Structure 1
Amino acid sequence: MGKPDAEGHGPADGLPGLPPEWGRVVVPDDASALAAEAAQIRRELRRATRLPGGRRALGLPLLVLLVAVLTTLAGLLVVTWPRANRGNDRPTPAPYSPPAPLAGRALPALDLVDASQAPVPLRGLLPAMIILVDGCPCPARVADALAAAPTGVSVVTVTGERTVPAGPTTQRQARALADPAGGLRSFLGQPARPGAVTALFVDRAGIVTRVLPDLGTIETYRQDLAALAS
């Protein structure tokens, strides 16, 4: 059993001060000595849980615990949930969409102007290889196209300026036109690029057969010219 103090009111040390109304408190050396008291306490707890008031008394702490757990989980979700717009995130750029293919489409009825500012219906020159020289005059490329073009196929150069310089009249030359309104560029959907020469091939029915964003050597389009003549 426990060791009482000098007055016989409990152990000499090891316990804090207890209220006097508790009376004499003896701490046993062997915990099995309290088995009877523990069994009685368990019976009283079971009896309390069978009563309506007991269920309410036990239900309230469980409810508080449940609310605490749910609050913690909600906080974790807020912290870890991926956000679409964070402060340091950049908006996703729209994907680049190249111009729609023009092959198989009809050339619009555009009226361009010649060196005398007279209107010239572009569809009246078909079949034709139309070369846009607003990005580069590139006379050597135009000369190559003239040399490769079969009889009956026009070679037309188009500039974006309002006037067309007059060319020599002693040799074959391309039909030089101006497109100050930019209608042909708008149809192509491709802006002029410095140093680049754009060409399109249009058959006698007015259908675009091919577009070359940057005109290369004759061998890259010789067959297209031959197809226009057939």
Structure 2
Amino acid sequence: MAGPSDNGGWSSDGSSPEDLPDFPEEWGVIVIPDDLSELSDEVEAVRAELREAKTQSHFADHPLLRALRKIANGAVRAPVLIISMAVLVTVASLFASAWPGPARQPATQRTASTTTTRPTALPALELVNADGQAVSLRQELPAVILLIDGCDCAALVADTIDAVRPEIAVITVSGMFTASAGTIPPTGATPQAQGKAVRVLHDPSGNVREQLKLAAPDGTAAALLVSRGGEIIRTDARTASVETFRPDLARL
């Protein structure tokens, strides 16, 4: 019997030396033929598997497939990018809305120096009628009040009388006339025109313009539209035509 040195460390009966592990049991019995040509079938099977693997590798590297893979990757990345941008914009908007900015002054403060705040209700003032008697300005409402100091407003008064409904009074307010004997009211008491009430009142002290925050006379009239409850519907500080306030007559 040959020793281990004669057959490469294997014993003559085919058993493995003690220092080498045995083959796994699942491999079964391994027989090495004396003629290697008997393994040609196994060799061809291995070569066929290698050729198939190589063909699949070449097919995977085809330019069309690479382009399809790029398109697929882009199709996946685009929605992710869009969603990410939407999330970033939303977060930025939330931070911008929550971040304290410089204090803004109210618009009323910016315009307080240039805007005159006029009363919304007609003051309870006493004027003088054509007979020299004291009369409340709110005695007959609803009304169109025309302040005609220094104004050649005969046409405006006549047009206003024609434009109002019978239940709406037309009140003209002017200063006192000066005569040699002193200050006296003019002639012409309360005229009636087409069944409409027209009152002629005088304001010698100018209280009406002062209370209503109206400027001094400038050759035009000032018009006020006052409802039955004394609410000032409209104020025209300067007007020479009934057309400026005609649309609001229906509100009286």
TM-score by length of 2: 0.48
Is 1:109 aligned to 2:124, yes or no?
A: yes
Task: In structure 2, give the amino acid aligned to 1:130.
Answer: I
Aligned counterparts of 1:165 and 1:98: Cα–Cα separation in 2: 39
Partners of 1:191 and 1:202 lie apart in 2 by: 19
Residue in structure 2 matched with residue 165 of structure 1 by the alignment: 187
Partner Cα distance (2:172, 2:155) in 1: 13
Match in the other structure for 1:41: none
In structure 2, relative to structure 1, the CA distance for the partners of 1:110 and 1:220 (3 Å cut) is same
How many residue pairs match? The answer is: 132
CA 124–96 in structure 1, closer or farther in 2 if over 3 Å, else same: same
Larger strand proportion of the pair: 2
Give the superposition deviation at 1:128: 0.5
CA contact (8 A) 2:141 2:169 kept: yes
> What is the identity percentage for the equivalent residue pairs of Structure 1 and Structure 2?
39
Distance change in 2, residues 1:169/1:203 (3 Å): closer
Q: In structure 2, do the counterparts of structure 1 residues 207 and 114 end up closer, same or farther at CA, with 3 Å as the change threshold? A: same
TM superposition shift of 1:106: 1.5
Does residue 1:142 correspond to 2:157, yes or no? yes
Contact 1:199 1:215 in 2 (8 A): yes
SS at match of 1:125: coil
Aligned twin of 2:242? 218
Deviation, structure 1 residue 216? 4.1
- Cα 1:171–1:205, aligned 2, differ >3 Å: closer, same or farther? closer
> CA offsets per residue over residues 112-152 of structure 1, 9 Å max, x none?
11111011111111110000011304100111100101110
User: Where does 1:116-135 land on structure 2 (aligned, <5 Å)?
Assistant: 116-135=131-150
- Counterpart of 1:141 in 2: which secondary structure? helix
Gaps of 5+ in 1: 1-94
- Describe the SS at the equivalent of 1:140: helix
Cα drift, residue 203 of structure 1: 0.4
Q: Residue 99 of structure 1 aligns with which residue?
A: 116
- Secondary structure (helix, strand or coil) at the match of 2:208 reads helix
The two structures have a TM-score, normalised by structure 1, of 0.52
* Kept in 2: contact 1:99–1:190 (CA 8 A): no
Distance in 1 between the 2:126 and 2:190 partners? 24
The one-character-per-residue Cα deviations of 1:80-99 (angstroms, maximum 9, x if unpaired) are xxxxxxxxxxxxxxx95342
1:187-217 per-position Cα deviation (integer Å, ceiling 9, x unaligned): 1222223311101111000111110011243
CA separation of 1:166 and 1:189: change in aligned 2, threshold 3 A: same
* RMSD value, Cα: 2.3
- Equivalent residue in structure 1 for 2:223, among 174, 199, 204: 199
Whether the 8 Å CA contact 2:128–2:202 is kept in 1: the answer is: yes
